[in-house]
């Protein structure tokens, strides 16, 4: 079950108990060379950055991305849609935009990824 901060909670059906399985922070994924150094830069730069948002409006990644846009006052829409993590990483590596992904999605072949203090950038 995906639960994001700010999402409406619903009670489980009768006879069902919920137990936390994994608590994983989201990572902002941007192209290498993007000048973002801390959370202030991330929030201040979201509206002014030339990079569009990537994603799928109804996917789990859409909720934290929407929250970031709301916090920053950004009105930029999602420009490119993807349905798989590898496609997302390829689009970001090609400089086509930015997205939000969980750290588990960033594991695998680390040769083209770099994670710095919560900001993940594909290496050049």
Q: What is the mean pLDDT of residues 16-21?
A: 83
Q: Is the overall model pTM greater than 0.85, yes or no?
A: no
pLDDT of 44 over the 50 cut? yes
For residue 39, what is the domain's CATH number? 3.40.190
Q: Is residue 1 part of a domain?
A: no
* Residue 99 pLDDT level (bands cut at 50, 70, 90): confident
CB 54 within 8 A of CB 96: yes
To the nearest 10 degrees (0 to 180), the angle between helices 39-48 and 62-72 is 80
Residue 117 has pLDDT above 80, yes or no: no
Average pLDDT across the chain, whole number: 72
For residue 21, the 8-state DSSP code is: -
Residue 107 included in any domain: yes
Of 19-28, 65-74, 77-86, which gets the smallest average pLDDT? 65-74
* pLDDT tens by residue, 2-12: 455 555 567 78
Question: Domain span at residue 42?
Answer: 27-122
> Is 14 part of a structural domain of the chain?
no
The structural domain count of the chain equals 1
Task: Please answer whether residues 19 and 46 qualify as being in contact, where contact means their C-beta atoms are separated by less than 8 angstroms.
Answer: no
């Amino acid at each position: 079950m995906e639960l994001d901060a700010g999402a409406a909670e619903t009670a489980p059906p009768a006879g069902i108990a919920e137990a936390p399985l994994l608590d994983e922070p989201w990572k902002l994924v941007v192209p290498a060379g993007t000048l973002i150094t801390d959370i202030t830069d991330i929030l201040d730069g979201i509206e002014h950055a030339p990079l569009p948002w990537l994603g799928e409006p109804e996917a789990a990644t859409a909720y934290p991305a929407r929250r970031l846009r709301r916090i920053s006052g950004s009105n930029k829409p999602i420009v490119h849609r993807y349905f798989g993590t590898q496609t997302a990483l390829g689009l970001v590596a090609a400089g086509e935009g930015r997205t939000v992904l969980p750290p588990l999605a960033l594991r695998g072949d680390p040769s083209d990824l770099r994670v710095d203090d919560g900001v993940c950038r594909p290496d050049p």
